[in-house]
Structure 1
């Protein structure tokens, strides 16, 4: 399984009054990790969007285990948890600077035509992505 690791420096505006990362920011970090994983596999969302396709979130989950604080650097690990040629489930783990697991999560996505939001088959419309995703899950 291919796992992308991305470091995120916690910025002041991402925290609450206690200096703890506000929970919604972890979802942004999931997106950063997901984008970097896609780039690691040789693709980009911009390329997909130029072809009139977007990849909305159908479902997202986050489980909070330990706070991350302002000034720390978090590590976001991202991988493809499940892929069936149509739907993609990405998995995430976010670790604090000392290596403590702080957040786990998953997000489910499909690809849709931007013009009408009708789902499309990744296997059919993006065969290179399809093959790369299958390989990334198997490794």
Structure 2
């Protein structure tokens, strides 16, 4: 289960050396993560409507090669774990050459919004959305 997005690096994301500032990589991960969550209809609005928040509790970025102003990149978000948490892995590639530039991951856990308690297992609504998405993909092939 994955989703890809392509973006062109804006000027306001680069430093004086014309290289993307390291903190913006998490923003690029977020853009791809939202695309992935939209794929199975469980993005942040749907999460909130279902009574759960999913805060990021861990993130990791491995900077392989710098990204420059106006460079087009492809960010792939891939769902790796979902039973007890959402672990999403990311790969960033140069959109033209396909060369890998960065990799990383984020981990999110479900928090019941009313009680503010962390869930030790993903709530049933997540499995319902993933099962519906899997069924849709199977029908379309």
Match of 2:93 in 1: 95
Structure 2: runs of 5 or more not aligned: none
Moved more, 107-116 or 5-14: 107-116
Who is 2:129 aligned against?
A: 129
Q: CA deviation at 1:125?
A: 4.4
State how far apart, in whole Å, the 1-side matches of 2:37 and 2:82 are: 14
Q: Which shifted more, 122-131 or 57-66? A: 122-131
Equivalent position SS for 2:36: helix
CA drift at 1:127:
3.9
Distance 1:13 1:77 in 2: 22
Query: What is the CA–CA distance in structure 2 between the aligned matches of 1:79 and 1:126, rounded to whole Å?
Result: 16
Cα deviations across residues 60-109 of structure 1 (Å, max 9, x unaligned)? Answer: 1000001110011110001111222x211101000123221111001111
User: Cα gap change, 1:105/1:9 in structure 2, threshold over 3 Å: closer, same or farther?
Assistant: same
In 1, distance between residues paired with 2:61 and 2:25? 8
Change (3 A) 1:51 1:41: closer
**Secondary structure, in 3 states, of the residue corresponding to 2:98?**
coil
- How far the C-alpha of 1:53 sits from its partner, in A, is 1.7
SS in 1 for 2:110: strand
CA RMSD of aligned residues (A): 2.2
Q: TM-score, normalised by structure 2?
A: 0.84
Structure 1: tracts of 5 or more residues without a match:
none
Q: Is the 8 A contact 2:67 2:101 kept in 1?
A: yes
Q: Can you list the C-alpha shifts for 1:3-57, whole angstroms capped at 9, x where unaligned? A: 2110111111111111111111110111111110011123321111123321111
